[in-house]
Amino acid sequence: MYTLLFTRSEVVQLVDPVKLIEPMRAAFRDYSKQRVIPGQRFFTPLNGPGDAMILAPGLTPGIPAYTVKVHAKFPAQQPAINGALLLNDLQTGELLAVMDSTYLTAVRTGLGAAIATDLLAKPDAGSVAVIGAGVQGEFQLRYLSLFRPLTQVTVYDTDPERAAAYAARLSSELHVLVVPCKTLAAAVANAEIILTATWSNEPFLFFDMVQAGCHITTLGADQPGEAELAAELIEQATFFCDDRDLALSQGAIGGAGLSIAVISAELGEVLGGSKPGRKDASQITIYGAVGVAFQDLVVAWQVYNNGRTKCVGQSLDFLA
């Protein structure tokens, strides 16, 4: 039995985000319809603020494999997230592949967020504010552009130079003007869609900052003690998540000190038609994602199969 090894650059080469859209939607639907395993993220704080190790096992119907991802989160480092993903045969447990998980995680998180944003935002919404000019702010905007035209984009970051670099890079790539803003209030003032992905431990987005009909996707609150949205904003909006229990224990709901009762539905329930999404144009909707490991599996399975087809990756016999 040979195991394939994929470096970060090889993962980049082998990922096709457009072909991941339907498998990812199906995995969200299956997850909410019937848990194969519960959403599990084993979180271990390390030596500094925000530093952590996260262990996440992934399984979903239709893919004859499972994943285990070991992630290190060090906000002060670049990149802030590093890790490795193991892909194993579901029937035998044989190790099929080992791959860098940094790019893979950015892909699956950004694509899941874009699927939710497109589903829950007003159909004609094209004015976007990005809060946090990091990797995930970039992937969210890039993948949202696969679903709908972007008419206007603003970006705000606590580091103005990073916001300016983000604006220049994404303006060129997406052929839309991205304007860096000096203040958070200026960035969100006219936004129909707000995308947040920060390391914040305190809410910075409040109800009176958001216009009627706005959709917000918040990704920053994905471990205990983190928060981006104020409790009042969540309570006045209709809130959706990837996993109810994770939203409470590690996500935006727990970070705001609220209860599970404020959650309207999971993304998979809306995709599957068992729960409604947006009901009218004036409604404020929020999607708060923690990240569930079946998303890792969907992307890793594509990487593995594309690697075999294209003869990319190093082959190694771990049992030799």
Which pLDDT band holds residue 161 (cuts at 50, 70, 90)? very high
Full-model pTM: 0.95
Which pLDDT band holds residue 320 (cuts at 50, 70, 90)? confident
pLDDT for residue 145 is more than 80: yes
Domains 11-105+294-315 and 120-288 share a fold: no
- In the prediction, which pLDDT does 33 show? 94
Which tens digits make up the pLDDT trace of 281-293? 999 999 999 999 9
- The answer to whether 53 and 71 are in contact (CB under 8 A) is yes
Query: For the chain, percent helix, then strand, then coil, each to nearest 5?
Result: 35, 25, 40
What residues does each domain of the chain span?
11-105+294-315, 120-288
- The answer to whether 187 and 162 are in contact (CB under 8 A) is no
Residue 47: DSSP 8-state: S
Pairing of strands 178-180, 65-73: unpaired
Q: What percent of the chain has pLDDT over 90?
A: 86
Whether CATH 3.30.1780.10 fits 11-105+294-315:
yes
pLDDT for residue 56 is more than 90: no
- In the prediction, which pLDDT does 79 show? 80
First to last CA, the chain: 10
Which tens digits make up the pLDDT trace of 171-185? 999 999 999 999 999
Which tens digits make up the pLDDT trace of 6-23? 999 999 999 999 999 999
- The CATH architecture one would assign to domain 120-288 is 3-Layer(aba) Sandwich (3.40)
More confident residue, 1 or 130: 130
Where do runs of H (alpha helix) occur along the chain?
8-14, 17-33, 102-120, 135-144, 160-174, 184-188, 231-236, 244-249, 252-255, 267-272, 294-310
pLDDT for residue 168 is more than 80: yes
Residues 118-127 have a mean pLDDT of 98
